[in-house]
């Protein structure tokens, strides 16, 4: 669903400084009942990520890390069953999953005496059962489960959603009889940048020729769209010509400004498709 910049700003403003919990999400849905849940969640997530990016450094100073770790230790000593880490994260306005990471890293550093590898940390966050300390394992798990913007579970859901929409798009292309090359095939051929689908025969969508389609199972806000343009869409254009981006969870209307130049935005599979007619063959 397309949102005007103003509509989007209203939502973003409401999100201001909310915590990434299901409670916040519930409030958001109540406030904007006309918007789809997925759109709201996507915007929520993006807004929260922006907020975190702004404050990321602040939470990673040596002092901050030490403070958090000590507070965690004293907290669990008092009551190991209490949501110590989660509450700490909420208190300092930081993502629970990221707080869990900081404390886990610090914990392992103390235990092993060396800085633990990223792989190990990631693996433990994904599966807290591997964490040698039972209490910390519970605390970490509580954080990752309750975080609706960061963490392995959320990442996985996002990945799954992305994959599902790619499959949906593929189905629609097949249904429309539009032959395409999918990302895997393109990779195998050695393409350096690959959109989700390259149409073997270009089509016109709403009067614009397109050569490729990229599926984005998220909301297209300014920030993410700019990043996508720079890292992906223009790169596709540079190699394959004009194309279509489908933001399944909508986008800010005003961002659809590169149509003439060859980047088309849609929030659903287009209906106005004109294909090349093989008039010669028909005769």
Partner 1 sequence: GISPRVSLLIFCSLSLQENHVHDKLVPHSLLQKDFVPFLLNFLREQTSQILTNGPSTPAKTPNSKVLRSSASHGSQKTGSERRAGNSAGSCSSRMQLFSQMTPASSYTPDAMRRGRRKGNNSANAAGQQVARDIGRSLTEEEDGKGDSASLSGGRRKRSEVGPTSANSPPDQLNLNNLEEFPPMSAASGLTNKPSRRINPTPVSSERSHSKPKMCFTSTPVSQSPAARFPSGTSLETFAAIQKGNVTSITGSSLQEEREMLKKERYSLSLDPSTPTKPNYSWNGSLTTDSQVVTCADLSKVSCKKQLELLAQLYSTCIAENLVPNIFLELFFVLQLLTSKGTTSSEDDAVERQHFQNVHNCVYFAVQVLDCQFEIISYLERGTLKLLAENERIASFSPGLHARLMKAYESSTAKVSLLLPSSVQSVSFQPETDNRSNFPSDRAFHIFKKQRDIFYELLREWEDNHEKPGWDFERVLGNRIRAMMNHLTAACNHSHFARLFQKQLIQMCKGPIGGGTSWGDTPDQDVLNMLGSDNLSRLKRLQERFVVPQSIRGPCPPPTFPGCQQFFRDFILSAGSYQFNQHLMDSLCLKILELDGLTLVEHEPSDGEADMDEQDEKKRFTAALMTLRLLAKFLGFLVFLPYQTVEPPSRDLQESAVTLRNQTLPVLDVLKLLRQSVLNRRTILTVPWIVEFLSLVDHFAPFLDYYGRVFSLLLQLYRCLVLSEDKEMSFLNKLLILAVLGWLFQLLFSAIAESGSVNFSMHVWLCYPLSGLYMWGLLFTPDFLFTGELRKLLASFVAGSGAKNGGFIRKITPTAAESLTAKPSVTQQKLQVELEQAFFHNQPPSLRRTVEFVAERVGSNCVKHIKATLVAELVKRAEVMLQDKVKEEDANHSKLLDEVCAQLYEEGAQALHKGREFCRLKGPEAVRVLLPEETSAAVLNSAEDIAVGLATEKACTWLSTNITALIKREVRTTFNRMLRVQGPSLSSEDTQGERKGCPPNCQHHAPFPSQIINEIKDVLCIAVGPRDEDEGVLYVQLECLLKRLSQTLQCRKFMCPTSEQQLARCTVELASLLVSDRVPIQDLKPQTQKKPERQRGRKNAVNGLLKSLLSVWKEDFWTPVPVQLMFSRKNVGYIAEVEQREWDLFLFMLHGLVDHGLMGNAEIESCLHSLQELLWSSDFLEELEAISRIFISEYHVAEPRTRPCELVRQPRGTVAAQS
Q: Mask of contacts with partner 1, 24-63, x by CB under 8 A?
A: ----------------------------------------
Q: How far apart are CA 150 and CA 156, in angstroms?
A: 10
Shortest Å, Cβ 87 to partner 1: 8
Residue pair 173/202 in contact by the 8 Å Cβ criterion: no
Task: Estimate to the nearest angstrom the gap between the alpha carbon of 29 and the chain centroid.
Answer: 19
Concatenate the DSSP letters of all residues of 155-172 into one string. HHHHHHHHHHHHHHHHHH
Find the binding residues for partner 1 in span 4-23 (CB under 8 A): 22
| Footprint of partner 1 on 71-110 (CB under 8 A) | 81, 83, 86-87
- Helix, strand and coil content of the chain, in percent to the nearest 5, comes to 60, 15, 30
Q: Between 53 and 163, whose beta carbon lies closer to partner 1?
A: 163
CA angle at 139 for the pair 88 and 43, rounded to the nearest 5° = 65
The one-character DSSP state at 220 is B
- 214: three-class secondary structure by DSSP: strand
**Part of the chain binding partner 1 (CB under 8 A), chosen from 10-18, 111-119, 120-128, 271-279:** 120-128
Instruction: Candidates 48-56, 247-255, 258-266, 271-279: pick the segment binding partner 1 (CB under 8 A).
Output: 258-266
Q: Which of 145, 172, 178, 204 binds partner 1 (CB under 8 A)?
A: 145
CB of 226 to partner 1, least distance (A): 13
- Pairwise CA distance, residues 104 & 120, whole Å: 11
Q: Which residues bind partner 1 (CB under 8 A)?
A: 22, 81, 83, 86-87, 126-129, 131, 134, 137-138, 141-142, 145-146, 153, 156-157, 159-161, 163-164, 167-168, 189-193, 234-235, 237-241, 260-262
């Amino acid at each position: 669903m397309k949102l005007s910049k103003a509509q989007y700003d209203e939502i973003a403003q409401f999100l201001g400084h909310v915590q990434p919990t299901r409670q916040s999400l519930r409030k958001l849905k109540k406030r904007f009942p006309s918007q789809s849940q997925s759109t709201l969640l996507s915007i929520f997530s993006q807004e929260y990520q922006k907020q975190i990016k702004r404050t990321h450094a602040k939470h990673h100073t040596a002092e901050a890390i030490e403070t958090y770790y000590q507070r965690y230790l004293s907290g669990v000593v008092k009551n190991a069953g209490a949501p110590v880490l989660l509450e700490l994260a909420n208190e300092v306005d930081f993502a629970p999953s990221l707080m869990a990471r900081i404390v886990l890293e610090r914990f392992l550093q103390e235990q092993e005496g060396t800085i633990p590898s990223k792989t190990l940390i990631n693996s433990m966050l994904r599966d807290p059962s591997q964490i040698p300390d039972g209490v910390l394992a519970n605390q970490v798990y509580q954080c990752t489960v309750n975080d609706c913007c960061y963490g392995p579970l959320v990442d996985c859901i996002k990945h799954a959603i992305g994959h599902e929409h790619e499959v949906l798009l593929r189905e629609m292309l097949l249904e429309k009889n539009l032959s395409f090359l999918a990302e895997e095939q393109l990779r195998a051929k050695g393409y350096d940048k690959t959109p989700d689908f390259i149409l073997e025969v270009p089509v016109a969508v709403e009067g614009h020729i397109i050569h490729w389609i990229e599926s984005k199972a998220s909301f297209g806000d300014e920030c993410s769209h700019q990043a996508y343009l720079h890292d992906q869409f223009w790169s596709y254009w540079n190699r394959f010509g004009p194309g279509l981006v489908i933001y399944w969870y909508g986008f800010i209307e005003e961002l659809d400004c590169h149509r003439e130049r060859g980047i088309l935005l849609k929030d659903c599979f287009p209906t106005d498709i004109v294909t090349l007619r093989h008039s010669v063959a028909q005769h």
